[in-house]
Amino acid sequence: MRHDEGNLILGTKKFQEKTKRWKVTLLQKKFIHDNFVDKKKLDLKKKITLNRNCPNCKKSKNFLLFSKDFFKYKKCEKCSLVYVSPVLKENEIIKMYKILHILILGENPIYKLNISLSS
């Protein structure tokens, strides 16, 4: 069973209780706020994000639909796909999940990782 399917099979409430996914969500939000947000601009730091074109039709023309937790949801003017842009750079996402993994599951010798946060 894939993670995203668990929500559908168990229902959101049971899925959250069983997996404690809500803990990850809360920690992730805090982590993003503490590390990735420019507190003066109240926006994601430019150097850790990438602007992207529509993942479906590759066009760049879009308009802002709404923002949630510092992420901007854009709607493609050509194909109407709603997608997030800018997104976090891949290395930043990997760093975040390595740290969240340790915060949630604890330090485990099998998963010893070298982590340093760029400021």
Where along the sequence are the contacts to Zn ion (CB under 5 A)? Answer: 54, 56-57, 76, 78-79, 81
The 3-state DSSP class for residue 116 equals: coil
Cβ 14 vs Cβ 43: under 8 Å: no
Minimum Å gap between C-beta 58 and Zn ion is 7
- Say which residue the tokens 């099998």 belong to: 110
Comparison of 79 and 94: residue with beta carbon closer to Zn ion: 79
**Minimum distance of Zn ion from residue 79's CB (angstroms):** 3
Between 30 and 78, CB nearer to Zn ion: 78
Distance CA 33, CA 47 (A): 15
Q: Return the number of the residue (56 or 108) whose C-beta is nearest Zn ion.
A: 56
User: Please, where are the H alpha helices in the chain?
Assistant: 3-10, 12-19, 21-36, 90-105
Report in angstroms how near the CB of residue 83 gets to Zn ion at its nearest.
Answer: 8
